[in-house]
Chain A
Amino acid sequence: MAIPDSKTIAAAVMEALEPFSRPGQVLGRDTDIMADLEIDSVAVLDVVMVIEDKYDVSVPLELVPKIKTIGDFADQIAALLAGEK
Protein backbone atom coordinates (compact mmCIF):
# COMPACT_ATOMS: atom_id res chain seq x y z
CA MET A 1 0.00 0.00 0.00
CA ALA A 2 1.33 3.46 -0.92
CA ILE A 3 1.71 5.73 2.05
CA PRO A 4 -1.24 8.14 2.03
CA ASP A 5 -0.34 11.82 2.11
CA SER A 6 -1.28 14.21 4.87
CA LYS A 7 -4.09 15.65 2.76
CA THR A 8 -5.81 12.28 2.36
CA ILE A 9 -5.36 11.56 6.05
CA ALA A 10 -6.77 14.99 6.96
CA ALA A 11 -9.92 14.14 5.00
CA ALA A 12 -10.30 10.92 7.01
CA VAL A 13 -9.74 12.81 10.26
CA MET A 14 -12.39 15.35 9.28
CA GLU A 15 -14.83 12.55 8.57
CA ALA A 16 -14.18 10.99 11.98
CA LEU A 17 -14.57 14.34 13.73
CA GLU A 18 -17.69 15.38 11.82
CA PRO A 19 -20.08 14.10 14.54
CA PHE A 20 -18.46 16.55 16.98
CA SER A 21 -18.78 19.65 14.80
CA ARG A 22 -21.14 22.50 15.63
CA PRO A 23 -24.13 23.13 13.37
CA GLY A 24 -22.98 24.65 10.09
CA GLN A 25 -19.30 24.36 10.96
CA VAL A 26 -16.88 23.58 8.14
CA LEU A 27 -13.86 21.58 9.25
CA GLY A 28 -10.42 22.31 7.85
CA ARG A 29 -6.76 21.66 8.53
CA ASP A 30 -6.71 24.67 10.88
CA THR A 31 -9.66 23.52 12.99
CA ASP A 32 -8.51 23.37 16.61
CA ILE A 33 -9.83 20.00 17.80
CA MET A 34 -10.40 20.77 21.48
CA ALA A 35 -11.26 24.47 21.15
CA ASP A 36 -13.45 24.51 18.05
CA LEU A 37 -15.36 21.23 18.38
CA GLU A 38 -17.85 19.85 20.89
CA ILE A 39 -15.51 17.11 22.03
CA ASP A 40 -13.92 16.06 25.31
CA SER A 41 -10.44 14.66 25.90
CA VAL A 42 -11.60 11.04 26.06
CA ALA A 43 -13.65 11.27 22.86
CA VAL A 44 -10.52 12.59 21.12
CA LEU A 45 -8.71 9.43 22.17
CA ASP A 46 -11.52 7.36 20.71
CA VAL A 47 -11.23 9.22 17.40
CA VAL A 48 -7.49 8.56 17.47
CA MET A 49 -8.32 4.84 17.67
CA VAL A 50 -10.54 5.04 14.59
CA ILE A 51 -7.70 6.62 12.61
CA GLU A 52 -5.19 4.14 14.00
CA ASP A 53 -7.32 1.31 12.67
CA LYS A 54 -7.85 2.94 9.32
CA TYR A 55 -4.12 3.30 8.70
CA ASP A 56 -2.96 0.32 10.76
CA VAL A 57 -0.66 2.45 12.87
CA SER A 58 -0.38 3.03 16.63
CA VAL A 59 -0.29 6.57 17.94
CA PRO A 60 1.39 6.57 21.36
CA LEU A 61 -0.71 8.37 23.96
CA GLU A 62 2.15 10.73 24.79
CA LEU A 63 1.95 12.22 21.29
CA VAL A 64 -1.74 13.11 21.54
CA PRO A 65 -1.35 16.34 23.57
CA LYS A 66 0.92 17.66 20.79
CA ILE A 67 -1.93 17.38 18.30
CA LYS A 68 -3.80 20.69 18.27
CA THR A 69 -5.36 21.01 14.85
CA ILE A 70 -6.69 18.57 12.28
CA GLY A 71 -3.61 19.38 10.20
CA ASP A 72 -1.31 18.42 13.11
CA PHE A 73 -3.23 15.17 13.48
CA ALA A 74 -2.80 14.28 9.80
CA ASP A 75 0.88 15.25 9.81
CA GLN A 76 1.47 13.11 12.88
CA ILE A 77 -0.11 10.06 11.26
CA ALA A 78 1.82 10.66 8.03
CA ALA A 79 5.07 10.89 10.00
CA LEU A 80 4.33 7.68 11.90
CA LEU A 81 3.51 5.87 8.67
CA ALA A 82 6.67 7.13 6.98
CA GLY A 83 8.70 6.01 10.00
CA GLU A 84 7.17 2.59 10.22
CA LYS A 85 7.15 1.53 6.58
Chain B
Amino acid sequence: MGLLDRFESVTRATQEFDANGVNPFGVAWDDVLSQTEAMWRGRKVVLAGTHNYLGLTFSEDCIEAGVTALRQRGTGTTGSRIANGTYPDHFALEAQLATWFDKRVCMVFTTGFQANLGVVATLGGPDDVLLIDSDSHASIYDAVKLSSAKILRFRHNDMKDLEHRLERLEGTPGNRIIVAEGIYSMLGDRAPLAEMIAIKKRFGAYLILDEAHSVGVLGPSGRGLAEELGLLDDVDVLTGTFSKSFGTVGGFCVSSLPDFEVMRLVCRPYMFAASLPPAVIASTSAAVRALQTTPALRLRLWRNIPVLYNGLRAAGFAVGPHEGPIVAVAAGKGRDLAVHTWNQLLEAGFYVNLALSPATPGGISLLRCSVSAAHTVEQLQGLVDALTRIAQGNGLLPAPLAVAAG
Protein backbone atom coordinates (compact mmCIF):
# COMPACT_ATOMS: atom_id res chain seq x y z
CA MET B 1 0.00 0.00 0.00
CA GLY B 2 1.28 3.47 -0.88
CA LEU B 3 2.16 5.81 1.95
CA LEU B 4 -0.40 8.36 0.81
CA ASP B 5 -3.23 6.01 -0.13
CA ARG B 6 -5.05 7.00 3.06
CA PHE B 7 -5.49 10.48 1.63
CA GLU B 8 -7.01 9.32 -1.62
CA SER B 9 -10.27 11.23 -1.02
CA VAL B 10 -8.30 14.46 -0.55
CA THR B 11 -6.26 13.84 -3.69
CA ARG B 12 -9.50 13.24 -5.58
CA ALA B 13 -11.11 16.42 -4.22
CA THR B 14 -8.06 18.45 -5.26
CA GLN B 15 -8.27 17.08 -8.79
CA GLU B 16 -11.94 18.04 -8.87
CA PHE B 17 -11.14 21.58 -7.72
CA ASP B 18 -8.55 21.92 -10.47
CA ALA B 19 -10.89 20.54 -13.11
CA ASN B 20 -13.75 22.86 -12.16
CA GLY B 21 -11.93 26.15 -11.71
CA VAL B 22 -9.42 27.53 -9.24
CA ASN B 23 -8.36 25.34 -6.31
CA PRO B 24 -9.50 27.36 -3.26
CA PHE B 25 -6.60 25.95 -1.27
CA GLY B 26 -3.98 26.68 -3.90
CA VAL B 27 -4.29 30.42 -4.51
CA ALA B 28 -0.97 32.22 -5.07
CA TRP B 29 -0.72 35.98 -5.49
CA ASP B 30 1.37 37.53 -8.25
CA ASP B 31 2.02 40.34 -5.81
CA VAL B 32 0.60 41.84 -2.62
CA LEU B 33 -0.08 45.55 -3.01
CA SER B 34 -1.36 46.57 0.41
CA GLN B 35 -3.17 45.24 3.47
CA THR B 36 -6.32 44.86 1.38
CA GLU B 37 -5.26 44.33 -2.23
CA ALA B 38 -3.27 41.77 -4.19
CA MET B 39 -2.63 40.98 -7.84
CA TRP B 40 -3.92 37.65 -9.04
CA ARG B 41 -3.48 36.44 -12.62
CA GLY B 42 -2.95 39.98 -13.80
CA ARG B 43 -5.83 41.66 -11.98
CA LYS B 44 -6.46 43.40 -8.72
CA VAL B 45 -8.31 41.46 -6.02
CA VAL B 46 -9.70 42.77 -2.72
CA LEU B 47 -8.40 40.68 0.18
CA ALA B 48 -11.28 39.83 2.51
CA GLY B 49 -9.94 36.53 3.75
CA THR B 50 -6.89 37.48 5.81
CA HIS B 51 -6.45 38.03 9.54
CA ASN B 52 -5.02 41.47 9.06
CA TYR B 53 -7.60 42.83 11.48
CA LEU B 54 -5.82 46.08 12.25
CA GLY B 55 -4.08 46.43 8.90
CA LEU B 56 -0.65 46.61 10.53
CA THR B 57 1.28 44.62 7.89
CA PHE B 58 2.26 47.83 6.09
CA SER B 59 2.59 50.07 9.15
CA GLU B 60 5.63 52.34 8.68
CA ASP B 61 6.65 51.94 12.32
CA CYS B 62 6.47 48.15 12.21
CA ILE B 63 8.42 48.01 8.95
CA GLU B 64 11.08 50.43 10.18
CA ALA B 65 11.54 48.56 13.46
CA GLY B 66 11.95 45.32 11.53
CA VAL B 67 14.42 46.76 9.04
CA THR B 68 16.56 48.26 11.79
CA ALA B 69 16.65 44.97 13.71
CA LEU B 70 17.37 43.02 10.54
CA ARG B 71 20.43 45.17 9.83
CA GLN B 72 21.57 45.25 13.43
CA ARG B 73 21.09 41.63 14.46
CA GLY B 74 20.84 39.62 11.26
CA THR B 75 18.32 37.43 9.50
CA GLY B 76 17.79 34.70 12.06
CA THR B 77 18.80 33.34 15.44
CA THR B 78 19.66 29.78 14.27
CA GLY B 79 18.81 28.38 17.66
CA SER B 80 16.11 27.84 20.23
CA ARG B 81 15.29 29.92 23.26
CA ILE B 82 17.07 27.53 25.62
CA ALA B 83 20.27 27.58 23.54
CA ASN B 84 21.59 30.57 21.59
CA GLY B 85 18.22 31.97 20.43
CA THR B 86 17.38 34.44 23.20
CA TYR B 87 18.35 38.03 22.31
CA PRO B 88 17.49 41.04 24.47
CA ASP B 89 14.64 41.66 22.03
CA HIS B 90 12.91 38.38 22.94
CA PHE B 91 12.90 39.16 26.65
CA ALA B 92 11.86 42.76 25.98
CA LEU B 93 8.83 41.65 23.95
CA GLU B 94 7.90 39.17 26.66
CA ALA B 95 8.15 41.87 29.31
CA GLN B 96 6.04 44.19 27.16
CA LEU B 97 3.30 41.58 26.78
CA ALA B 98 3.40 40.42 30.41
CA THR B 99 3.00 44.02 31.57
CA TRP B 100 0.23 44.71 29.09
CA PHE B 101 -1.76 41.65 30.15
CA ASP B 102 -0.90 42.24 33.80
CA LYS B 103 0.42 38.67 34.12
CA ARG B 104 3.65 37.58 35.74
CA VAL B 105 5.18 35.59 32.90
CA CYS B 106 5.08 35.72 29.10
CA MET B 107 6.65 33.19 26.76
CA VAL B 108 7.03 33.87 23.06
CA PHE B 109 6.78 30.93 20.64
CA THR B 110 7.71 30.66 16.99
CA THR B 111 4.06 30.31 15.93
CA GLY B 112 0.67 30.51 17.62
CA PHE B 113 0.13 26.90 16.65
CA GLN B 114 3.19 25.97 18.72
CA ALA B 115 2.03 28.14 21.63
CA ASN B 116 -1.17 26.09 21.88
CA LEU B 117 0.64 22.85 21.21
CA GLY B 118 3.17 23.62 23.93
CA VAL B 119 0.86 25.04 26.58
CA VAL B 120 -1.99 22.56 26.27
CA ALA B 121 0.12 19.43 25.77
CA THR B 122 2.55 20.27 28.58
CA LEU B 123 -0.03 21.31 31.18
CA GLY B 124 -2.23 18.23 30.64
CA GLY B 125 -0.40 15.57 32.68
CA PRO B 126 -1.01 11.81 32.96
CA ASP B 127 -3.81 11.95 35.57
CA ASP B 128 -5.36 15.16 34.29
CA VAL B 129 -8.40 15.79 32.14
CA LEU B 130 -8.43 18.29 29.28
CA LEU B 131 -11.93 19.47 28.39
CA ILE B 132 -11.98 21.06 24.94
CA ASP B 133 -14.71 22.81 22.99
CA SER B 134 -15.85 20.82 19.96
CA ASP B 135 -15.10 23.79 17.64
CA SER B 136 -11.50 24.06 18.83
CA HIS B 137 -8.74 25.07 16.41
CA ALA B 138 -6.59 22.32 14.85
CA SER B 139 -3.66 23.32 17.08
CA ILE B 140 -5.75 22.47 20.16
CA TYR B 141 -6.92 19.14 18.72
CA ASP B 142 -3.29 18.28 17.94
CA ALA B 143 -2.13 19.52 21.33
CA VAL B 144 -4.45 17.20 23.23
CA LYS B 145 -3.23 14.28 21.15
CA LEU B 146 0.32 15.10 22.25
CA SER B 147 -0.63 15.35 25.92
CA SER B 148 -0.81 12.40 28.27
CA ALA B 149 -4.10 13.60 29.79
CA LYS B 150 -7.55 12.17 29.33
CA ILE B 151 -9.39 14.22 26.71
CA LEU B 152 -13.06 15.14 26.81
CA ARG B 153 -14.84 17.19 24.16
CA PHE B 154 -17.84 19.33 25.09
CA ARG B 155 -20.48 20.69 22.73
CA HIS B 156 -19.53 24.03 21.27
CA ASN B 157 -20.24 26.85 23.75
CA ASP B 158 -22.66 24.57 25.64
CA MET B 159 -21.97 25.27 29.30
CA LYS B 160 -24.55 22.72 30.50
CA ASP B 161 -22.63 20.08 28.59
CA LEU B 162 -19.30 21.22 30.04
CA GLU B 163 -20.79 21.15 33.53
CA HIS B 164 -22.22 17.70 32.97
CA ARG B 165 -18.89 16.32 31.82
CA LEU B 166 -17.19 17.78 34.89
CA GLU B 167 -19.87 16.21 37.10
CA ARG B 168 -19.24 12.81 35.56
CA LEU B 169 -15.61 13.10 36.60
CA GLU B 170 -16.49 13.40 40.27
CA GLY B 171 -14.36 11.17 42.46
CA THR B 172 -11.62 10.73 39.87
CA PRO B 173 -8.15 12.20 40.45
CA GLY B 174 -6.31 14.83 38.44
CA ASN B 175 -6.59 18.47 37.42
CA ARG B 176 -9.46 19.53 35.20
CA ILE B 177 -8.29 21.91 32.49
CA ILE B 178 -10.82 23.67 30.27
CA VAL B 179 -9.57 24.86 26.88
CA ALA B 180 -11.58 27.47 24.98
CA GLU B 181 -11.19 30.32 22.50
CA GLY B 182 -12.16 33.99 22.84
CA ILE B 183 -13.47 34.20 19.29
CA TYR B 184 -13.86 30.92 17.42
CA SER B 185 -12.07 30.80 14.11
CA MET B 186 -14.77 29.26 11.96
CA LEU B 187 -18.02 31.06 12.85
CA GLY B 188 -16.46 34.08 14.56
CA ASP B 189 -18.62 33.55 17.64
CA ARG B 190 -17.47 34.17 21.21
CA ALA B 191 -17.13 31.87 24.21
CA PRO B 192 -19.65 32.37 27.07
CA LEU B 193 -16.71 33.25 29.26
CA ALA B 194 -18.51 34.48 32.39
CA GLU B 195 -20.48 31.25 32.70
CA MET B 196 -17.43 29.18 31.89
CA ILE B 197 -15.41 30.85 34.61
CA ALA B 198 -18.20 30.36 37.14
CA ILE B 199 -18.19 26.64 36.30
CA LYS B 200 -14.40 26.51 36.40
CA LYS B 201 -14.42 27.97 39.91
CA ARG B 202 -17.15 25.67 41.15
CA PHE B 203 -15.23 22.58 40.05
CA GLY B 204 -11.79 23.91 40.95
CA ALA B 205 -10.73 23.63 37.32
CA TYR B 206 -8.18 25.63 35.32
CA LEU B 207 -8.77 27.60 32.12
CA ILE B 208 -6.53 27.97 29.07
CA LEU B 209 -8.00 30.60 26.75
CA ASP B 210 -6.80 31.09 23.18
CA GLU B 211 -7.38 34.72 22.26
CA ALA B 212 -5.83 34.38 18.78
CA HIS B 213 -8.70 36.19 17.05
CA SER B 214 -9.75 38.50 19.89
CA VAL B 215 -6.53 40.28 20.85
CA GLY B 216 -6.52 43.64 19.10
CA VAL B 217 -10.24 43.28 18.50
CA LEU B 218 -12.10 43.07 21.82
CA GLY B 219 -11.72 44.78 25.18
CA PRO B 220 -11.36 48.43 26.17
CA SER B 221 -7.62 48.27 25.48
CA GLY B 222 -7.67 45.49 22.88
CA ARG B 223 -6.53 42.64 25.09
CA GLY B 224 -9.34 40.32 24.09
CA LEU B 225 -12.59 38.81 25.32
CA ALA B 226 -11.43 38.24 28.90
CA GLU B 227 -10.52 41.90 29.19
CA GLU B 228 -13.81 42.95 27.65
CA LEU B 229 -15.67 41.05 30.38
CA GLY B 230 -13.29 42.07 33.16
CA LEU B 231 -12.21 38.45 33.66
CA LEU B 232 -8.52 38.49 32.79
CA ASP B 233 -7.58 37.53 36.36
CA ASP B 234 -9.62 34.35 36.09
CA VAL B 235 -7.84 33.09 32.99
CA ASP B 236 -5.02 30.80 34.14
CA VAL B 237 -3.13 30.80 30.85
CA LEU B 238 -3.95 33.03 27.88
CA THR B 239 -2.47 32.13 24.50
CA GLY B 240 -2.34 34.24 21.37
CA THR B 241 -0.72 34.76 18.02
CA PHE B 242 1.19 37.54 16.27
CA SER B 243 -0.14 36.38 12.89
CA LYS B 244 -3.47 38.19 13.06
CA SER B 245 -3.92 41.64 14.66
CA PHE B 246 -0.16 42.15 15.06
CA GLY B 247 0.48 41.44 11.39
CA THR B 248 3.67 39.39 11.82
CA VAL B 249 4.20 35.76 12.82
CA GLY B 250 4.69 34.02 16.15
CA GLY B 251 2.75 33.12 19.25
CA PHE B 252 2.74 33.76 22.98
CA CYS B 253 1.26 32.79 26.29
CA VAL B 254 0.90 34.80 29.49
CA SER B 255 0.20 33.46 32.95
CA SER B 256 0.50 34.27 36.62
CA LEU B 257 0.38 30.65 37.78
CA PRO B 258 3.01 29.95 40.45
CA ASP B 259 6.25 28.55 38.99
CA PHE B 260 5.07 29.10 35.42
CA GLU B 261 8.72 29.90 34.49
CA VAL B 262 9.49 26.18 34.57
CA MET B 263 7.59 25.91 31.30
CA ARG B 264 10.68 27.29 29.57
CA LEU B 265 12.41 24.01 30.40
CA VAL B 266 9.60 21.49 29.97
CA CYS B 267 7.56 22.79 27.05
CA ARG B 268 9.02 21.09 24.02
CA PRO B 269 7.59 23.20 21.14
CA TYR B 270 9.25 26.17 22.92
CA MET B 271 12.50 24.37 23.66
CA PHE B 272 13.22 22.59 20.41
CA ALA B 273 12.41 25.06 17.64
CA ALA B 274 14.48 28.06 16.61
CA SER B 275 13.30 31.34 18.11
CA LEU B 276 11.76 34.12 16.03
CA PRO B 277 14.17 36.27 13.99
CA PRO B 278 15.00 39.67 15.52
CA ALA B 279 13.19 41.52 12.73
CA VAL B 280 9.94 39.73 13.51
CA ILE B 281 10.35 40.41 17.21
CA ALA B 282 11.02 44.11 16.54
CA SER B 283 8.03 44.49 14.18
CA THR B 284 5.81 42.68 16.67
CA SER B 285 6.97 44.90 19.49
CA ALA B 286 6.13 47.95 17.38
CA ALA B 287 2.73 46.41 16.65
CA VAL B 288 2.04 45.95 20.37
CA ARG B 289 2.87 49.63 20.87
CA ALA B 290 0.58 50.56 17.99
CA LEU B 291 -2.26 48.62 19.62
CA GLN B 292 -1.61 50.34 22.94
CA THR B 293 -1.30 53.86 21.60
CA THR B 294 -3.68 53.89 18.64
CA PRO B 295 -7.19 52.90 19.71
CA ALA B 296 -8.30 54.41 16.40
CA LEU B 297 -7.22 51.16 14.71
CA ARG B 298 -9.77 49.21 16.71
CA LEU B 299 -12.42 51.87 16.19
CA ARG B 300 -11.86 51.71 12.44
CA LEU B 301 -12.19 47.92 12.53
CA TRP B 302 -15.47 48.23 14.41
CA ARG B 303 -16.67 50.88 11.97
CA ASN B 304 -16.07 48.32 9.22
CA ILE B 305 -17.42 45.16 10.83
CA PRO B 306 -21.12 46.13 10.68
CA VAL B 307 -20.78 47.09 7.01
CA LEU B 308 -19.98 43.48 6.16
CA TYR B 309 -21.92 41.67 8.89
CA ASN B 310 -25.14 43.65 8.65
CA GLY B 311 -24.81 44.01 4.90
CA LEU B 312 -24.62 40.26 4.34
CA ARG B 313 -27.32 39.56 6.88
CA ALA B 314 -29.66 42.08 5.29
CA ALA B 315 -29.01 40.45 1.91
CA GLY B 316 -30.41 37.23 3.35
CA PHE B 317 -27.24 35.27 4.15
CA ALA B 318 -26.97 33.14 7.28
CA VAL B 319 -24.01 34.57 9.19
CA GLY B 320 -22.47 33.64 12.57
CA PRO B 321 -24.27 34.64 15.79
CA HIS B 322 -21.87 37.41 16.88
CA GLU B 323 -20.56 40.48 15.09
CA GLY B 324 -16.80 40.37 14.78
CA PRO B 325 -13.88 40.46 12.38
CA ILE B 326 -14.68 36.98 11.05
CA VAL B 327 -17.94 36.98 9.15
CA ALA B 328 -18.80 33.43 8.16
CA VAL B 329 -21.47 32.91 5.53
CA ALA B 330 -23.19 29.51 5.39
CA ALA B 331 -22.91 28.05 1.89
CA GLY B 332 -24.88 24.83 2.16
CA LYS B 333 -24.09 21.27 3.21
CA GLY B 334 -22.40 19.99 0.09
CA ARG B 335 -19.16 21.33 -1.28
CA ASP B 336 -19.97 22.01 -4.94
CA LEU B 337 -22.11 25.13 -4.58
CA ALA B 338 -19.70 26.61 -2.03
CA VAL B 339 -16.66 25.99 -4.25
CA HIS B 340 -18.51 27.39 -7.25
CA THR B 341 -19.59 30.52 -5.38
CA TRP B 342 -16.05 31.01 -4.08
CA ASN B 343 -14.70 30.78 -7.66
CA GLN B 344 -17.23 33.28 -8.95
CA LEU B 345 -16.37 35.67 -6.13
CA LEU B 346 -12.66 35.49 -6.96
CA GLU B 347 -13.44 36.10 -10.63
CA ALA B 348 -15.42 39.14 -9.50
CA GLY B 349 -12.34 40.43 -7.67
CA PHE B 350 -12.85 39.37 -4.04
CA TYR B 351 -10.84 36.80 -2.13
CA VAL B 352 -12.43 35.19 0.93
CA ASN B 353 -11.59 31.91 2.69
CA LEU B 354 -13.45 28.75 1.89
CA ALA B 355 -13.91 26.27 4.71
CA LEU B 356 -15.27 22.81 4.09
CA SER B 357 -16.25 19.85 6.25
CA PRO B 358 -14.65 18.35 8.36
CA ALA B 359 -12.98 21.65 9.27
CA THR B 360 -16.36 23.30 9.82
CA PRO B 361 -18.96 22.80 12.57
CA GLY B 362 -21.95 20.68 11.64
CA GLY B 363 -20.48 19.70 8.28
CA ILE B 364 -21.58 22.89 6.52
CA SER B 365 -19.49 24.79 3.99
CA LEU B 366 -18.51 28.34 4.86
CA LEU B 367 -17.43 31.38 2.91
CA ARG B 368 -15.33 32.86 5.64
CA CYS B 369 -14.91 36.59 5.14
CA SER B 370 -12.78 38.79 7.33
CA VAL B 371 -12.69 42.49 8.02
CA SER B 372 -9.68 44.75 8.39
CA ALA B 373 -9.41 48.25 9.80
CA ALA B 374 -7.64 49.01 6.52
CA HIS B 375 -10.66 48.15 4.35
CA THR B 376 -12.57 51.03 2.88
CA VAL B 377 -16.31 50.97 3.28
CA GLU B 378 -16.50 50.80 -0.53
CA GLN B 379 -14.44 47.59 -0.60
CA LEU B 380 -16.70 45.92 1.95
CA GLN B 381 -19.88 47.16 0.31
CA GLY B 382 -18.47 45.89 -2.99
CA LEU B 383 -18.04 42.44 -1.42
CA VAL B 384 -21.59 42.44 -0.08
CA ASP B 385 -22.95 43.43 -3.51
CA ALA B 386 -20.83 40.95 -5.45
CA LEU B 387 -21.61 38.03 -3.14
CA THR B 388 -25.31 38.86 -3.15
CA ARG B 389 -25.45 39.06 -6.94
CA ILE B 390 -23.52 35.79 -7.35
CA ALA B 391 -25.57 33.95 -4.74
CA GLN B 392 -28.84 35.10 -6.25
CA GLY B 393 -27.63 33.93 -9.64
CA ASN B 394 -26.49 30.46 -8.56
CA GLY B 395 -29.24 29.60 -6.13
CA LEU B 396 -27.38 30.03 -2.84
CA LEU B 397 -29.83 32.86 -2.15
CA PRO B 398 -33.35 33.01 -3.56
CA ALA B 399 -33.49 35.12 -6.72
CA PRO B 400 -34.73 38.66 -6.02
CA LEU B 401 -38.38 39.33 -6.68
CA ALA B 402 -38.85 41.33 -9.84
CA VAL B 403 -39.57 44.93 -8.93
CA ALA B 404 -43.16 45.63 -9.80
CA ALA B 405 -43.49 48.32 -12.42
CA GLY B 406 -45.30 51.48 -11.48
Give 28 pairs: A residue, B residue, CB < 8 Å, sorted on A: A41-B358, A42-B357, A42-B358, A42-B363, A43-B357, A43-B358, A43-B363, A45-B134, A45-B153, A46-B134, A49-B134, A49-B153, A49-B155, A49-B161, A56-B168, A57-B168, A58-B165, A58-B169, A60-B150, A60-B151, A61-B132, A61-B144, A61-B151, A61-B152, A61-B153, A62-B145, A62-B150, A62-B151
Distance to closest chain B CB from A62 (angstroms): 6
How many residue pairs between the two chains, A and B, have CB atoms under 8 Å in the bound complex? Answer: 34
> Which residues of A have CB within 8 Å of B168?
56-58
A40 CA to B155 CA, complexed, in Å: 17
Apart from A49-B134, A49-B161: 19 A-B pairs, beta carbons within 8 A: A40-B357, A40-B358, A40-B363, A42-B363, A43-B357, A43-B363, A45-B153, A49-B153, A49-B155, A56-B168, A58-B152, A58-B168, A58-B169, A60-B150, A60-B152, A61-B132, A61-B151, A61-B153, A62-B151
Q: What chain B residues lie within 8 Å of A61 (beta carbons)?
A: 132, 144, 151-153
A58 and B151 alpha carbons, distance in the complex (Å): 10
Give min CB distance, B8 to chain A, whole Å: 12
Question: 10 closest Cβ contacts across the A-B interface?
Answer: A61-B151, A40-B358, A42-B358, A60-B150, A58-B168, A58-B152, A41-B358, A60-B151, A62-B151, A61-B153
Chain A positions 23 through 43: 1 when the CB is less than 8 Å from some CB of chain B, otherwise 0: 000000000000000001111
* Minimum distance in angstroms from B13 CB to a CB of chain A: 12
Task: For residue B146, give the distance in angstroms from its CB to the closest CB of chain A.
Answer: 11
Measured CB to CB, the nearest residue on chain B to A84 is B168
**B178, chain A: closest CB distance, angstroms:** 14
In the complex, chain A residues whose CB is within 8 Å of the CB of B152: 58, 60-61
Residues of B within 8 A of A40 (CB): 357-358, 363
The residues of B that contact A49 with a CB separation of less than 8 Å are 134, 153, 155, 161
- How many residues in B have their beta carbons less than 8 Å from beta carbons of A? 16
CA distance A56 to B170 in the complex (A): 13
Q: What's the least CB distance linking B338 to chain A, in Å?
A: 15
Please measure, in the bound complex, the distance between the C-alpha atom of A43 and the C-alpha atom of B145, giving whole angstroms.
18
Main DSSP-derived SS at the A contact region: helix
Bound Cα distance A40, B168 (Å) = 27
Note all chain A residues with C-beta closer than 8 A to B363: 40, 42-43
Question: Which A residues are within 8 Å of any B CB, using their own CB?
Answer: 40-43, 45-46, 49, 56-58, 60-62
**Complex-state Cα separation, A81 to B160, whole angstroms:** 22
Interface string of B158-173 (1 = CB under 8 A from A): 0001000100110000
| Residues of chain A contacted by B169 (CB below 8 angstroms) | 58
Distance A60 CA – B174 CA, assembled complex (angstroms): 14
CB neighbours (8 Å) of A41 from chain B are: 358
Q: How far is the CB of A34 from chain B (nearest CB, A)?
A: 11
Kindly list chain A residues whose C-beta atoms are within 8 Å of the C-beta of B165: 58
Please, how many angstroms separate the alpha-carbon atoms of A65 and B203 in the complex? 29
Q: Which of B120-167 contact A (CB under 8 A)?
A: 132, 134, 144-145, 150-153, 155, 161, 165
Could you say which residues of chain B place their CB within 8 Å of the CB of A46? 134
Chain A residues closer than 8 Å to B144, beta-carbon distance: 61
B133 to chain A, nearest CB (A): 12
Q: Find chain B residues with CB under 8 A from A57 CB.
A: 168
In the assembled complex, which residues on chain A have CB atoms less than 8 Å from the CB atom of B132? 61
* Nearest-CB residue, chain A, relative to B150: A60
The residue of chain A having its C-beta at the shortest distance from the C-beta of B362 within the complex is A46
What residue in chain B is nearest A65 (Cβ atoms)?
Answer: B145
Select the residue from B145, B155, B358 with max chain A CB neighbours within 10 A. B358
Closest to B145 in A: A62
Closest to B132 in A: A61
Distance of A43 Cα from B357 Cα, bound (Å): 9
Give CA–CA (A51, B145) in the complex, Å.
22
Separation in Å of the A21 CB from the closest CB of chain B?
Answer: 15
State A40–B150 Cα separation when bound (angstroms). 23
